[in-house]
Amino acid sequence: MRGFLAALATLAILGLAACSPTSATRTPDGTLVPTAGPTRAASTGGEGPSPSQLILWLTPAFSPTAGTPAGDLLAARLDGFERANPGLTIEVRVKDERGPGGLLESLASASQAAPDSLPDLAALDSVALHDAALKELIVSLGEAVDTPSVLAWYPFAAEAARTEGSLIGMPFAADAQALAYRSDAYPRPPANWTDVLDGPSPFLFPAGDPYAAFTLAQYLSLGGRLIGENGRPRLQAEILSQVLEFYDSAHRSGVLPLSARQYHDSAATWAAVRDGRAQAATAFFSTFLAEYDPTTDSLQPLPTSDGAGTCIAEVWSWALVTREPVRQDLSLRLLTWLSDPEFLGEWTHALGLLPSSTAALAVWPDGTQTAVASRLVTAAHVRPTAEILATFGPAVHAAVDSVLSGEASPEVAAQAAALAIQAP
């Protein structure tokens, strides 16, 4: 494994992917277009890998056979790697993102029942990546501390790819929960809580989210901590109370309606802005880009008390699954190939997702999409792990609900949440 880690650092530093033959050409206007290559098949099963084959698991959003510009770019990149390694074939198997047949669940079941059917690499979101690491379903990439700095990953991407200081994935793309708003309804972008309180109504966030991700993001933006000096989970009631006071003021002024409790995710709150039922609400970067009206809709980091802004990033990383040394070496070379900033820039732009590094964003063309992405990547924080959400979410959600319903004051609700977390 030590040799594998040394190879990882060496390949990242030398940037071999950028020097290998490419599988795309540029048009006169600078657009990267995939060249013709072998037709790539995606499957959901099949025989175990041979020494001349690598198996890649990913979700439908990243499928190279989706018939989209992003899918074509990935297909061309994989074909290029095959041509650079004669005799090698890459088989892509598409798995659902969640559920019994989901990618993480498939990794867990295959590791027990059919280890020969496991992939060499898998594309996992940040929550699944950490779950897979805890369950030892993936191989840690070790203490290659210099790799993130060499690749110039954004802090949120580097954080998502590590657990307890160990590198467990190679981040390549992210989505972010931000604030969509009607630019014709606000005299200036609503960057802080006062802008929201003084702005038009309604303003929405998913107050019905049982994991309270939006509220936890606001709590953390105020410097709130989730771990006490004793190393146990802890909520600081005085800081959570500040967030709840903001909600209470917004509700009493009519800006935040009681109906916010009926919204469980940002897809629903964004639909309210898109359909003219709200003036501002949480929205995901990818969904906003696909549906927004450039004449009236804008996107920016979530407003915070100090106006610095924040957003919640869901990061996808390539994870190493195979434990066979020869296959690990070949998988490492493919990881390096797929991490080339020029390719990642073109691919993430086509996907409508945020890139994981400054070098990849530098490839994006000038325009609204790039301007918005530039603001979000500097304010982004990785979505809390499944363990944190499960530990803190229910208590924080109950506090939000009790304040909006008028059952408790912000101070009382915050204290109740803090006590619930401390209870054995």
HSE-CB for 283 with a 13 A CA cutoff: 27
In a domain, 183, yes or no: no
Identify whether the C-beta of residue 56 lies closer than 8 Å to the C-beta of residue 92: yes
pLDDT at 40: 53
Distance of CA 34 to the CA centre of its chain: 26
**Count of other CB atoms within 10 angstroms of residue 9:** 17
Please give the C-alpha separations between residue 254 and each of 38, 113, 340, in angstroms, as whole numbers.
Answer: 59, 56, 49
Tokens representing residue 255 in the block: 């800006």
In a domain, 182, yes or no: no
Please give the C-alpha separations between residue 13 and each of 198, 273, 288, in angstroms, as whole numbers.
Answer: 50, 45, 36
Tokens representing residue 56 in the block: 């890649």
Residue 99 belongs to what domain range? 2-174+313-381
Helix ranges (H only) for 253-303 are 266-274, 285-291
Using CB atoms within 10 Å of the CB of residue 142, give its burial: 0 to 12 exposed, 13 to 18 middle, 19+ buried: middle
DSSP string, 328-369: HHHHHHHHHHHT-HHHHHHHHHHHT-EESBHHHHTTSPSSHH
Task: Please name the amino acid found at residue 25.
Answer: T
For residue 9, the domain's CATH number is: 3.40.190.10
Whether residue 202 has a cis bond before it, omega within 30° of 0 = yes
In a domain, 345, yes or no: yes
pTM: 0.84
Longest dimension (CA), the chain: 68
In a domain, 252, yes or no: no
Local structure of residue 295 (DSSP, 8 states)? T
**Phi, then psi, of 316 in degrees rounded to 5:** -110, 135
**Count of other CB atoms within 10 angstroms of residue 324:** 12
Please give the C-alpha separations between residue 283 and each of 62, 177, 178, 190, in angstroms, as whole numbers.
Answer: 21, 5, 5, 14
In a domain, 372, yes or no: yes
**Phi, then psi, of 288 in degrees rounded to 5:** -60, -50
In a domain, 44, yes or no: yes
Element housing 311 (H / E): strand 311-320
What is the number of domains present in the chain? 1
Strands 89-94, 42-43: parallel, antiparallel or unpaired by DSSP? parallel
In a domain, 364, yes or no: yes
At residue 122's C-alpha, the angle toward residues 117 and 127, to 5°, is: 120
- Which mean pLDDT values do the consecutive 10-residue runs of the chain (424 residues) have? 39 35 36 38 45 90 95 98 94 89 90 89 94 92 51 88 87 97 94 96 96 95 90 94 98 96 97 96 96 95 96 95 90 91 97 96 95 96 89 97 97 97 76
In a domain, 169, yes or no: yes
Q: Is the dihedral of CA 258, 264, 267, 268 positive or negative?
A: negative
